[in-house]
Amino acid sequence: MSDIKHCLNILRRTPPSDVVDNLERLIAVRPELDEELCQRVDTPLQIVCKKEFKCFILEKDTKTGKQFITCDYNRDGDSYRSPWSNEYFPSIEDGDECLRPSENLRKLELEANEVFDHYRHAYFEGGVSSVYMWDLDAGFAACFCIQKG
C-alpha cells in the first residue's frame, strides 16, 4: 500500500471534527506528501488570521483590514491569496511567480467580492465571504465562499 493510502486510511478512522489537526500532524511527519494530501482531503473553510505552523485562526488582510476565507482555490504552497488586496499571506518570496488572475478578471473578482459581501451581510448577518477567480485556457473559473459568523 502506498504512503498516501496509509495517510488517507488514518484520516478515515479519525473524527471528522479533527481533520485539520490530523492532516497537519500527517504533513509534519511526511512533508513530501503535503501537496497530494491537501488535494485529496476536504477540510472546512477557514478564515485566515495569525499563522501558527499550518493552523489558521482569525486575522485580517494587513493591506486592507478585511478577513478572507482560505481554501484550495486561493492557495499557493503554504500561502493564501486575499481577494481584497491580491496579496499572499504569508507573503511569497518570489511574488512574480504567484498565481493571480489577469487584469480584467481581477476587476471582475473585486466587483464580485463587493456584491457577495453585501449579500453575506444581508442574508447571514455576519461571517465572511470571499470570491476567487482564475483564468483557464478557454475562459475562467470562479469559487464563491461564505462562512457564517
Q: What is the pLDDT of residues 1-16, one digit of tens each?
A: 588 899 888 888 988 8
Residue 111 lies in a domain: yes
Distance (Å, whole) CA 40 – CA 119? 31
Distance (Å, whole) CA 86 – CA 17? 31
Contacts of 8 (CB under 8 A, 6+ apart): 37, 40, 41
Query: Which residues in the chain come in under a pLDDT of 50?
Result: 50-58
Distance (Å, whole) CA 96 – CA 4? 31
Residue 97 lies in a domain: no
Last residue of a domain, one of 43, 58, 76: 43
Task: Give strand pairing partners of 145.
Answer: 130
Residue 24 lies in a domain: yes
Distance (Å, whole) CA 53 – CA 58? 14
Across the chain, mean pLDDT equals 83
Residue 14 lies in a domain: yes
How many Cβ atoms from other residues are within 10 Å of residue 32's Cβ?
Answer: 8
Residue 143 lies in a domain: yes
pLDDT at 42: 80
- Domain hosting residue 120, numbered range: 103-147
Query: How many separate domains does the chain show?
Result: 2
Residue 61 lies in a domain: no
